[in-house]
Structures are given as structure tokens and as C-alpha cells.
Structure 1
Amino acid sequence: MPETSIKSRPVYGTLAPQPGTRHILLADGDGAAAIVDLARAAPPEFFERAHIITAPAAGAMAVRAPLRALAPAVLDETDRLAAALSRLAEVLAGAGMGTRLYVAGTEGTIGQAMQVALDAGVELGAIATEHRGSRARRVQCAHCKTFIDEVTTQPVACSGCGLMLFVRDHYSRRLAAFQGVCVDAEEPGSAPTPEEVFT
């Protein structure tokens, strides 16, 4: 049952160069193309003040080569999202007024990067996002509080408590996750067969 009226559902835009004294860009493997697309509209000096942090899958040279060609002031290449988010927190800790943040990739990448940025005191208006790639969701079980990454099915089994969860469109920016609630609480064992819906 879709919940299209839920206002917390994230809405993403298209990355475009913004005025700023410094530009921090974070992308996963799917989001790298959004940065390359942004470069087509950026003034020549944009990447002289840019710090790109990547989190593609290990060995994804096809993603890294186009970003290197942009010749940013700093390019941090990681193979794991956790490492990229840690680096983002370090960079934001030293960021000054006029810094702009651009995040591109899957919903999980965007949500977790925004969580890091908001925790660092970055204003929401200084963050631009663009969704690229899979629509897989990061879900928090409302019952045991376990986070489940890369959820593509409706419902999904919680990896923490084993309950079958209905993945709601309710999104928590604070947790960077969608909410999952027990789908068969009133009649245990009556959960529908999981279907691929977030692809």
C-alpha cells in the first residue's frame, strides 16, 4: 500500500554549480556521473576550489578516471562509504562560511552524507543532492532499531529481530533511514511474499 502523502519522503534535485568559496562534493559509484554532468555547467575556476570525496566499489576505475580529469583541488578516493563519510566529517569540521556541499548517488549515500553534514552544522540550504542509481533503501526496524542497508523488497526481513517489516515512505533525516514496521503483527505468519519494488 503506497504512502504517497507522507511529507518526509526525500525529494532530490539535479546538481548545479552554486556560488561559494569552497565546494565539497561526495559521490558513490552511481553518483560520480552527476558530478561529471555538473562540471559541464561549472565555471572554469569551480574545481580549483573543489574537494571531491568518492566512495565507489573497490576497483571501480571507470568511475574514478572522469573525476580525476576534472582536476579538483583535492580528490579523496575511498572504496567504502563509511570511509568517505568519515572523511566528509573531517573536511566539514574545517569548513568555513560560503562552503557548499553536493551529494550524489543512492538514497543511502545521500541520507548518510546529509546526516554527517547536519551534525557538522551545515545548513540544509547549503546542501545540493541528486539521486543516481538504485532506489534501494536504508531501513530502521521500529522494533529492535537495527539498520538494514540496500533494501529492495517489500516487505523485508529484519536482520536483527527477524520480523517481516513493511517499509514505509516515512523517512527520518536524523536517522538517515526509512521506517520499517511489523507487517503481520496482528496475525503472525501472514506476511506477504517479498517482492522487488525498490530497484
Structure 2
Amino acid sequence: MIEISQLDSRPTYGRLFLNPRARSHLIAAQGEGAAAVLAVLAEVNGACSKTIVLYAETDEAGERHADQFALFDWAAFHLAGGPSELLATLDGVLATETMGLHLYVAGSESFIGEVISRAAGFGVIPQSVVAEKCGLPARRVQCVHCKYITEAVTATPYVCLGCGQSLLVRDHFSRRLSAFQGVRIDAEVPGDIPPAQELSR
């Protein structure tokens, strides 16, 4: 069995909840994160009228949630064509919002990291964002050798598409890059590459 890393700097996540003291809510959700959003709003009466939701479907989401979102009376609802479009919409919303808005995010770990990083550029304190990790344990990984970033890595080691090295996926998470770090696994003994194992979380 591969020992992935002794250094674990991954963020910890809890369950989504709405801050009752917030003037308004901004929720960014991706794929299976929709279920977390719909579940928390079912428990909070009257919150939808002061809630903006940005949502992007993913191929991994077995169930489509856009129709379910349409049943609520939101302050605003934006169905994005993908994460990039959602992030661009997020920029626009944050550029016009004022104090009292609280940010929430539900989706994959890399999506959460990207939303928090973008929001920080508008003065949102990263620690104030309520986040729930949802979906498969895929990771966004940066090769420390060539800096190429690969999305949705599900096993370690994997072959970097940038430089062709076999990389061990470490548990070291860069908040700046919203990515885990991948290091050459056969640096000491070239060609000694163990079988890949699935990333469990």
C-alpha cells in the first residue's frame, strides 16, 4: 500500500448551514453539491427570498437538479454552463454586493477551493465561507516539477500530462492554487513505480 503522505494540510469541511445573522446569502454549488443546498434550504423557512444561487451541473452528477432549484422563489438563480461560467458570474455578484452577504459553497474540493480563492479577491475572509464537500474523491493536482495542473485525479500514482512523470499525490493542499501537490514517485529508483491505488477521500 502506498503511503500517500504524512503531511496533511487539507481543509476540513462540515455540513452546509445558513448563518441566521446574515443579511443575504450567496450559494455556489456544483454537481452533487445541489443536494446539500436543497437539503439545508428545506430546513430554513423564508431564506430563499434573500438567497442568490449559482449552480453548475457536472457529468458526474447522476441526478439533474436544475428543475428542483426552479421550484424555489430565489432572490436570483443562475444556471451556469460549467464551473468557469459560474466563477465569472460569482465575480459579477461579489463586485456589486455589500456588507452582510454570507458565502456558501458545495461541490468538489477543487471547486470549493476555486470559489473561496476568487471570493478572497473581493475581500471575503476564507475562514468565513461555509463549505460542504460533495461527490467523488477526485482531486485537482499540480505537478511540482512542470507546474501542469490536472483535474479530477482519482488514483495515485498517475502520469502527469505535462512532463510524463509518474506522480505520487500528496495530501499537501495549496489554498493559493486550490490544488494538491504531485511529486515524482520514482525519483530515487527510476522505473520503480508501484501499482496505482484509488484515492479514498
Q: Into which bin does the TM-score normalised by the smaller protein fall?
A: over 0.9
Letter in 1 for 2:118: V
Letter in 2 for 1:37: A
C-alpha distance in 2 between matches for 1:195 and 1:176? 22
Asked whether 1:52 is paired with 2:68, we answer no
- 3-state SS of paired residue (1:115): helix
Equivalence map 1:178-197=2 (5 Å):
178-197=180-199
Aligned twin of 1:35: 37
**Cα 1:102–1:4 shift into 2, 3 Å:** farther
Instruction: Select which of 110, 132, 135 maps to 1:133.
Output: 135
Cα shift readout 1:124-183 (whole Å, capped 9, x = no counterpart): 243100011111000011011111000001111111111111111000111100011111
Equivalence map 1:1-199=2 (5 Å):
1-3=3-5, 6=8, 8-18=9-19, 19-44=21-46, 46-57=47-58, 62-198=64-200
| Count of residues in correspondence between the two structures | 197
Work out whether residues 99 and 126 of structure 1, in 8 Å CA contact, stay in contact via their aligned partners in 2.
Answer: no
C-alpha distance in 1 between matches for 2:40 and 2:123? 25
- 3-state SS of paired residue (1:69): coil
C-alpha distance in 2 between matches for 1:22 and 1:74? 11
Work out whether residues 48 and 72 of structure 1, in 8 Å CA contact, stay in contact via their aligned partners in 2.
Answer: yes
Work out whether residues 139 and 147 of structure 1, in 8 Å CA contact, stay in contact via their aligned partners in 2.
Answer: yes
Q: 5+ unaligned residues in a row in structure 1: which ranges? A: none
C-alpha distance in 2 between matches for 1:151 and 1:197? 8
Following superposition, the deviation at residue 4 of structure 1 comes to: 5.5
Letter in 2 for 1:185: A
- 3-state SS of paired residue (2:15): coil
Work out whether residues 151 and 198 of structure 1, in 8 Å CA contact, stay in contact via their aligned partners in 2.
Answer: no
Q: Percent of counterpart pairs with the same letter?
A: 37
Q: 5+ unaligned residues in a row in structure 2: which ranges? A: none
Following superposition, the deviation at residue 2 of structure 1 comes to: 3.9
Following superposition, the deviation at residue 5 of structure 1 comes to: 5.1
